[in-house]
Amino acid sequence: MKPFSFGKALRAGLIVGTLDILAAFIQYYINTQKNPLMVLKFIASGAFGKEAFSAGDIMLVWGALFHFFIATCFSIFFFWLAAKIPSILKFKLLTGILYGIFIWCFMQFVVVRLSQIQQGPIKLSKALIAASILIVCIGIPLTFLAEKAKRSGER
């Protein structure tokens, strides 16, 4: 990889952001049998509070923007990290698992805490599901996308 492949990191953000939001939609629908687009209103509620649930479809747009912004930031950070420490791509599966756990921790203990989302105690079963989604939909795919970017940059 060249010093840092910003364009490829942006594309990776769109890919993993899409995987992650689709997983969130599926999980929400399985658990509630309700419209999965409510996930986007939940995301928007981090900035807009409870009004996000009654403010109309514009909150779907805000939720999607916030979601993809965050996913892209995590992708850019990972691509930057992989450029600085290329050895993390040697063990892609382990790195993806650890990065997914890092994302869960950062979201749980920084982003959500700074948001307007009302949060109760952490339940282990929900935390494991959320962390697993982040591992499978963001952490692991990012390691393979960064490796691909590295290989294409070496040509």
Q: Where are the domains of the chain?
A: 6-153
Label residue 2 by pLDDT band (50, 70, 90): low
pLDDT score for 151: 85
Instruction: State the DSSP string of the chain.
Output: --S--HHHHHHHHHHHHHHHHHHHHHHHHHHH-S-TTHHHHHHHHHHHGGGGGTS-THHHHHHHHHHHHHHHHHHHHHHHHHHH-GGGGTTHHHHHHHHHHHHHHHIIIIIHHHSS----PPPHHHHHHHHHHHIIIIIHHHHHHHHHHHHHHT-
Span 145-149, average pLDDT: 94
Percentage with pLDDT > 70 across the chain: 97
pLDDT at 75 over 60: yes
pTM of the model: 0.92
pLDDT at 153 over 80: no
